[in-house]
Structure 1
Amino acid sequence: MVNLLLSLNNFDENWCYNILKNIIKEDYKVLIVPFSYDEKWLSNESDWSKAFNSKDGTHYEEIVSPFLAYGIDENNIKWINQFTDTIDLMKEKIKDTDIIFFTGGYPDKMMQRFKKYDLINELENFKGIMIGTSAGAMVQISEFHITKDSDYKRYLYCKGLNIIKDFDIEVHFENKELQNLSILRCLKEKKKVVYSISNDGAILVIDGQIYVLGDAEKWDIPKCYY
């Protein structure tokens, strides 16, 4: 299995393209899973179409364009639409794809929807390439932390997919004091490595082997925390 953890949908840029072009093949099928939204702006089929419709969806191009850079045909990029797809169809789409892509947004809401649509088992047993930006990266961690910000009023831990167990991540890293303190707290309380990922960085995991791409950094556990 391959996991790609990002902060933005920019995995077609020079800092990672030459590595990923050997992994993302032009004949691969892609499945977009946009489960990370807030109900305030996406609560029905009309909202979904306005966001992701291929003709004029506000988020369509930013999600799809990186895959096109790897030669993937737009017809091979499918979506899960929870307003029209049955649970059985969602599961079939997961089984019939090479790449799953999780959008950014709210990781806890994404996990709630995975459970609501009974997709946890299918996702945790997926053997292809799993790509996620921001929240979509966080949910690939078995237990991830959320740093306090405008959307989350306090620091907290959440259960993610039981896929990556050995480390945690801090996305959109800008070396801010609050982010640094959050990383240190995670190191102390969970005693596992944390990788900070800037908006031009990523962590790539191939069958358990970890690679740091672009502007990302490993934070080890201080000896005093053991």
Structure 2
Amino acid sequence: MIDPVSDLRSVREATDQLLTAAAALDNAAVAGPSRLPGWTRGHVLAHISRNADALVNVLEGRPMYVTAEARDADIERDASRGLSEQLDDVRASAARFQDTGAAPADWQRTVELRNGVTDRAARVPFRRLVEVELHHVDLGIGYELEDLPKEFTERETAFLAERWSAREDVPPTRVLAGGGEWRTGGAEGTPVTVSGSPADVLGWLSGRRDGTALECAGGPLPVLPPL
């Protein structure tokens, strides 16, 4: 069951954890490479801030971003800032998101995200949690997929499996991890079975690990589309 109020608390806790970890960096480290190709840690921090404001737009009924080009330009504009300015922005934008989420609202309403994607408003706090948790890992500062909360890993695995379900460019796949089981991919053909640790499975589904640590029975490891 989706509980946006509980998810908002988790977002606050995850943001505080990220801010504490990032505060140990310096300006040179912020300018250094992240784990995302072509992005510095400054790009990641800028994206975290701008995503908070974008999700405020979503909750308040405005377009998430004016355009894809404007989104990218805002991240580029903010990526070169020093540590103090980055942290202030993450903190302030996170507070704006929390304030918006705390306002009385119909959580069952449909909202529009990027590229015409729609969802229930109730899932927006979890979508924000995904941004904070996975991009904390992307900073490459000691927080790994193995450190993610168990409940979050299970929920995000289910979310990504749902994302790739009914995709004919992904073979039918049975996913096993940590005692959980999910189905994804198309419906035609005999499913392959992918299994591994929860962190390795999530890393594969989210494009953060190549899947070499996974076991795949019944065929080759499926190649997933980019997120």
TM-score by length of 2: 0.36
- Greater per-residue helix proportion: 2
**Higher strand proportion (structure 1 or 2):** 1
Structure with higher Rg: it is 2
